[in-house]
């Protein structure tokens, strides 16, 4: 039995896929599982791999680890680079086994039979590659037409099985689109096996309709967040990104927008990604006087990228002074704009504490926030495209 490491490349930005508030493709949910985890689990079940490495964007590694821990998986996360090749080289630095199988998360429905066929050729080539043939007429149009022999053209797929040392040496400082082209360019021997249409690459949202993947779970997720800031004499406060002129100022490391802080925590709570203090520590001078709207934008973008849709926001502001009611509509409009959701999905309530407690004594402001989220329903989106 060969000693093989599996590498699943999942650190891309999905630039060709991610449009119109669509998550990164590796975070689309198949049931409740993100696509990257579904692919890694599926391929890893095909063979007793020595280890499984998953390349990840640095800002997503901690969140991905929560999924691995939840399922008791010993897959290892490696830091992705700016390009596919950089991500691959980073992962390869942790590979000592004779062979390495590399696949892209975009190949999300690879049949086991393809891997079995590749494995049979392991000793015969430096790189074994699945391909699918061309059935259409192919023409090369440059300074005149040249009709190509389609029988000699192959569409290359992954996974590809390579001899580790040869692949490491082949990558060098040149740029290649896959393992086989790197190995071939450096004098290696490349062998081909028949691939599968089932292994087609997920490039655009429309591709999902032909991949027969189970739809995302329709569960509702709830996030709750609270924040308190003390008041002192000043010339005004920020709440929900709206300036309210008054005789107070909020004491805080950032701009003190207690409303957006509570909202940020609610979103993070809903997706299980920690709290605002972990993301933006108050002992980090980077966030001194930081714009809370910018911090919320980072959290919102992350939430979208990893596969969620914000459906509803409900906020309660507890303040004796200043009077919040005249500014509620402006706060709702601004929050709706910041989150990119309709105004009717945002509700802001304001109340006093009838002069009781620290709030009643005008010593501080408390905000509670609740957020409703769902997994991004890509299945509905593909149906809309078809209609």
Which residue ranges make up the annotated binding site? 227-229, 253-254, 261, 275-277, 280-284, 351-354, 358, 361
Q: How many CB atoms lie within 10 A of CB 364?
A: 20
DSSP state of 213: P
Which secondary structure element, helix H or strand E, spans residue 220, and what is its range? strand 220-233
DSSP state of 24: P
Paired residues of 244 in beta bridges: 237
Residue by residue, DSSP assigns 32-94 as: TEEHHHHHHHHHHTTS--SEEEEEE-GGGHHHHHHHHHHTT---EEEE--SSHHHHHHHHHTT
Do the bridges between strand 4-9 and strand 51-56 make them parallel or antiparallel, or are there none, so unpaired? parallel
Residue 276 CB burial class (10 angstroms; 0-12, 13-18, ≥19):
buried
Residue 62 CA to residue 274 CA, distance in Å, equals 10
Which secondary structure element, helix H or strand E, spans residue 281, and what is its range? none
Give residues with Cβ within 8 angstroms of 329, minimum separation 6: none
Q: Token digits for 371?
A: 């957020």
Q: Confirm if 254 and 211 have CB atoms less than 8 A apart.
A: no
Q: Confirm if 220 and 370 have CB atoms less than 8 A apart.
A: no
Annotated binding site for a divalent metal cation: 227, 229, 261
Give residues with Cβ within 8 angstroms of 271, minimum separation 6: 221, 223, 303, 306, 308, 373
Residue located via tokens 């071939």: 184
Q: Confirm if 227 and 146 have CB atoms less than 8 A apart.
A: no
């Amino acid at each position: 039995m060969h000693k093989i490491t599996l590498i699943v490349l999942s650190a891309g930005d999905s630039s060709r896929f991610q449009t119109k508030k669509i998550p990164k493709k590796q975070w689309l949910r198949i049931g409740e599982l993100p696509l990257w985890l579904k692919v890694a689990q599926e391929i890893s079940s095909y063979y007793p791999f020595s280890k499984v490495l998953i390349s990840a964007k640095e800002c997503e590694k901690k969140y991905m680890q929560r999924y691995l821990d939840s399922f008791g998986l010993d897959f290892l996360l490696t830091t992705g680079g700016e390009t596919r090749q950089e991500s691959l080289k980073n992962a390869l630095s942790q590979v000592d086994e004779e062979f390495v199988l590399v696949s892209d998360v975009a190949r999300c429905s690879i049949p086991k039979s393809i891997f079995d066929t590749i494995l049979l050729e392991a000793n015969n080539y430096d790189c074994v590659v699945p391909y699918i043939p061309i059935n259409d007429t192919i023409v090369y149009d440059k300074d005149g037409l040249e009709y190509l022999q389609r029988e000699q053209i192959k569409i290359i797929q992954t996974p590809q099985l390579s001899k580790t040392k040869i692949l490491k040496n082949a990558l060098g400082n040149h740029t290649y689109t896959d393992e086989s082209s790197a190995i071939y360019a450096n004098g290696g021997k490349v062998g081909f096996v028949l691939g599968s249409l089932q292994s087609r690459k997920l490039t655009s949202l429309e591709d999902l309709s032909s991949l027969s993947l189970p739809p995302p779970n329709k569960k509702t997720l709830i996030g709750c967040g609270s924040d308190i800031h003390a008041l002192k004499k000043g010339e005004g406060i920020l709440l929900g990104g709206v300036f309210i002129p008054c005789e107070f100022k909020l004491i805080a490391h950032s701009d003190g927008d207690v409303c957006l802080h509570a909202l940020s925590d609610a979103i993070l709570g809903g997706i299980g990604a920690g709290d605002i203090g972990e993301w933006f520590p108050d002992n980090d001078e980077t966030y001194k006087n930081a714009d809370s709207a910018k911090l919320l934008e980072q959290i919102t973008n992350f939430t979208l990228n990893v596969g969620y849709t914000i459906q509803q926001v409900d906020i309660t502001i507890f303040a004796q002074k200043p009077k919040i009611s005249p500014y509620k509509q402006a706060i709702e409009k601004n929050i709706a704009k910041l989150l990119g959701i309709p105004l009717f999905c945002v509700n802001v309530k304001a109340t006093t504490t009838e002069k009781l407690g620290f709030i009643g004594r005008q010593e501080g402001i408390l905000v509670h926030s609740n957020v409703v989220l769902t997994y991004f329903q890509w299945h509905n989106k593909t149906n809309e495209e078809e209609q």
